[in-house]
Amino acid sequence: MKLANVDGRAALVLGDQIADVATASRGRFGSDPMALYDRWDELRAFATTVTAPTGPLVESALRNPVPRPRQVFAIGLNYRRHAEETGAALPEVPAVFTKFPASLAGPFDDIVVEGPSVDWEVELVAVIGRTADRVPRTDAWSHVAGVTIGQDISDRHLQFAAGAQFSLGKSRRGYGPMGPWIVTPDELGNADDLALGCSVNGDTMQDARTTDLVFDVPGLVAELSAVLPLLPGDVIFTGTPAGVGVARQPPRFLRPGDTLESWIEGVGRIRNLVVDGR
Ligand code: ZN
């Protein structure tokens, strides 16, 4: 199942068409995508009965499929080759920060650069579909509603100001594009081995597989839920692979006019135009 946010309304994606969830269910489910994560199992069962679309899929109408998560977890240094390129040792426990929820954005929204050191970080984002409290890794995927593409856009200057403030440096408005939709794990083949990457103006900058993760999705659900409960609709930005701009020689950052495209195997693509905020 693929669940999208179409102009603020939850919709199932059926090929190149959509079925509006509230319309197709005759009001059994509401239109707010966020409310559906609390009824995920019920929605999954309902979705299997939906075959008739209610309209075409229009890319420009797609918004963030998880617009108001209660908790946003983000993981640093979680790909082996990315840890190498930064010169940091592999963490023994996940390196966790947050992106404040108001920084999240849609899959085709513009990225406003307000300085010279704004960087890309393509990431697999896992969305919680069932409250996860002390969940062992063997049971972890059953608590995940699905995955989507995220860009953990990072203002490197702000991130490393005042010592280090990852959460603020990665939370400028619009610095968390997500989408284009949520894909349930059953549609992914091997959900623990997905290709992901991103390009700037067509030049590939990141190109990796999630098998390079230090803590994979089940590992993160287990580690995080051992500390606190994960709630339906919470998102986990699972970390970025090698190829970020700050680690390149010479460094390369996002500039107005750039087009950032990001992809994950089995999920799709998102695209963001970089614009000048000054
Ligand atoms: Zn990141």
- Mean local confidence (pLDDT), 227-253: 97
**What is the distance in A from the centroid of ligand 1 to the CA of 184?**
22
**What is the distance in A from the centroid of ligand 1 to the CA of 28?**
37
**What is the distance in A from the centroid of ligand 1 to the CA of 94?**
12
Q: What would be the CATH architecture of the domain defined by 72-276? A: Alpha-Beta Complex (3.90)
pLDDT of residue 163: 87
**What is the distance in A from the centroid of ligand 1 to the CA of 212?**
15
**What is the distance in A from the centroid of ligand 1 to the CA of 98?**
10
Phi, psi of 161 (to 5 degrees): -75, 160
Q: Which residues lie near ion ligand 1 (Cβ < 5 Å)? A: 121, 152, 240
Stretch among 83-87, 104-108, 185-189, 250-254 having the lowest mean pLDDT? 83-87
- Mean local confidence (pLDDT), 220-231: 98
70: pLDDT strictly greater than 90: yes
**What is the distance in A from the centroid of ligand 1 to the CA of 121?**
6
**What is the distance in A from the centroid of ligand 1 to the CA of 96?**
10
114: pLDDT strictly greater than 90: no
The residue ranges of every structural domain in the chain are 2-62, 72-276
Phi, psi of 239 (to 5 degrees): 110, 160
pTM of the predicted model, to two decimals?
0.98
